[in-house]
Amino acid sequence: MKIGILGAGQLGRMLALAGYPLGMSFRFLDQNALVCSSELSELLVGDFSDQKILTDFARNLDVVTLEFENVPASAITYLSKLVPFCPSAKALQITQDRVMEKRLFESLAVPCARFFEVNTELDLKKALASLGLPAVLKTRRLGYDGKGQYLVRDLPSALSAFSSLGKADLILEEFVNFQRELSVLAVRDRMGGQDIYPLTENLHSDSILRISKAPASNVSSELLEMAAGYAKKILSELDYVGVMAIELFQSASGLIANEIAPRVHNSGHWTMNGAVTSQFENHLRAVAGYSLGSCEAVGHSAMLNIIGSCPDVSKLLKHPDLHVHLYGKEPRPGRKLGHINIRCDTAEKRDELLEEVKARFSL
C-alpha cells in the first residue's frame, strides 16, 4: 500500500511513523523543501497547482490523503481523476471556508455561533448591530492558531480589524461565552463504519493549543451522545473517510461547534500513548480500506505541546509516565517542535504529573 500525503509537516511525519508497521510506504508533496517529513520518505516539492507535479506525485499511489487542508480545490479535482482521494473533495471544499462550514452545521442542526458574511463596511455595521459586542471577526479562509482573527469590542476596533483583515471575505461571529473548549475526534472507514475517541479538553494560550487532556473530566452521557451525534451527521454528510477533529465550545446551553479540521489534529496527539489505536493509525486504516482499530482510551492522558524551545529530553525521559515525540524541527519562537504525552492510571495522578512537568520545564 503506497499512500500519498499532501503536506509534509509533523502530522505527515507521525502518519508515516504509524504506517510503517502496517507495511505502508509514503510519498509526500509539499510547497516547501524544509519540512520535517523529508527524512522519512520520498518528498516532492512544488506548487499544489502545478499539474506536472501532481501527475508525478500520483504515480503508482493507491490513495492520496492530506495533513494540510489548504490545498486548492483544482488540485483535488485533478488528483481525484488519477487516484482515490480521502477524506473527500466535498469535505475539503466546505472546511476551507468558515461560512460554508457554519452553513453545514446549520443544515445538520449542529449548534454553532450566529454569524454573518462580511464583505463591506456596511455588512460589518449591520452584523454588529445584530450580534452585539464583543464579537469575533475572522477571515473566511486560511486562518490558524488565532491568525486571521480579532476579538472586537467596539466599532473603532471592528473597523480597524476589518482593514487589517483585507476588507472582504470575512465572517463576523457572535462571541461565545464558553466554559471550556473540547474536541471530538471521529473516524469513518470506507464502508461507512464510524467510531469516536473520548472527548478531549483543550487549553489554549495566545490562541495556540498548549495542553489537551483526555478523557475530558465531567463528561455526562448526554454530552458524549450529543458530540457523537454531531460527529456522525457531519461525517456521513461529507462522505468522509479518515480522521476528523471537530472543535467545540461547551457553554451553559450545551455544545457549540466552532470548526472542523479535515485531518488528524493536535488535540488527538494523546492517542499515540493513551488510546488502543492512535489517530494516525486509524486515519491510515480508514483511507487504506482496512477495519478501524479501537478508539478506547487506555488510562488518563495529557498532551503538552513543546513550543519554541525544547526541554532537556534526558530529564523528561527519567519519568516512566512521560512519552516524548519530537518532530526534528529547528527551534524558533512560537514553533511547535514536539509534544509530551503523559499517561497515568488515574486522572489525579495525571493532573499531578502535568502540573509538575509544566512547572519544572516551563511548559
Q: How far is the CB of 48 from ligand AMP (least distance, A)?
A: 22
With contact defined as beta carbons under 8 Å apart, do 332 and 308 qualify? yes
- The number of residues that bind ligand AMP (CB under 6 A) is 14
Say which DSSP state 232 is in. H
32 binds ligand AMP (CB under 6 A): no
- SS3 labels along 90-110: HHHHHHCCHHHHHHHHHHCCC
For ligand AMP, the closer of residues 175 and 290 by Cβ is 175
What grid cell was written down for 24?
505502508
Q: How far is the CB of 171 from ligand AMP (least distance, A)?
A: 10
With contact defined as beta carbons under 8 Å apart, do 14 and 272 qualify? yes
Say which DSSP state 21 is in. G
What grid cell was written down for 253?
446551553
113 binds ligand AMP (CB under 6 A): yes
Helix (H) or strand (E) holding 157: helix 155-164
258-297 footprint of ligand AMP as x/- string (CB under 6 A):
xx--------------------------------------
For ligand AMP, the closer of residues 27 and 138 by Cβ is 138
Q: How far is the CB of 60 from ligand AMP (least distance, A)?
A: 37
Q: Nearest 10 degrees: CA dihedral of 354, 185, 291, 66?
A: -100
From candidates 67, 101, 181, 281, binder to ligand AMP by CB under 6 A: 181
Q: How far is the CB of 39 from ligand AMP (least distance, A)?
A: 30
| Phi/psi of residue 29, nearest 5 degrees | -130, 125
111 binds ligand AMP (CB under 6 A): no
**Coil/strand/helix, residue 211:** strand
Q: How far is the CB of 149 from ligand AMP (least distance, A)?
A: 6
For ligand AMP, the closer of residues 196 and 260 by Cβ is 260
What grid cell was written down for 220?
455526562
Beta bridge partners of 151: 136
Residues 4-23 that bind ligand AMP (CB under 6 A): none
Q: How far is the CB of 179 from ligand AMP (least distance, A)?
A: 12
Cis peptide before 134 (omega within 30 of 0): yes
User: Which residues make up the interface to ligand AMP (CB under 6 A)?
Assistant: 113, 136, 143, 146, 149, 173, 175-176, 181, 204, 207, 247, 258-259
